[in-house]
Amino acid sequence: MPAKLRKSRKDKMLAGVCGGLAEYLGWDPTIVRILFIILAFSYGFAVLLYFILAVVMPD
């Protein structure tokens, strides 16, 4: 059974969004955080996406 998409409680830095995405995808949370940083500096929409996911994703 695949993991559900939700914020991480144990691996969180701000809201747990990157940790939750990493658990869902089966990736290392550091990779997801680095991707968010790259997208935030290159396109800027990652910051908006992060806050939207922080509100929408369940705990």
pLDDT at 1: 56
**What integer pLDDT is reported at residue 31 of this predicted model?**
95
Kindly state the tokens that stand for 40. Answer: 């935030």
| 14-43 pLDDT tens trace | 899 999 999 999 999 999 999 999 999 998
Instruction: Give the per-residue pLDDT at 59.
Output: 85
According to the model, what pLDDT value does residue 2 have?
66
In the chain, where the domains are located: 1-59
Residue 11 is predicted with a pLDDT of 85
Asked if 17 and 59 touch (Cβ cutoff 8 Å), the reply is no
Write the DSSP string, 8-56.
Answer: -SSS-SSSSHHHHHHHHHT--HHHHHHHHHHHHHHTSHHHHHHHHHHHH
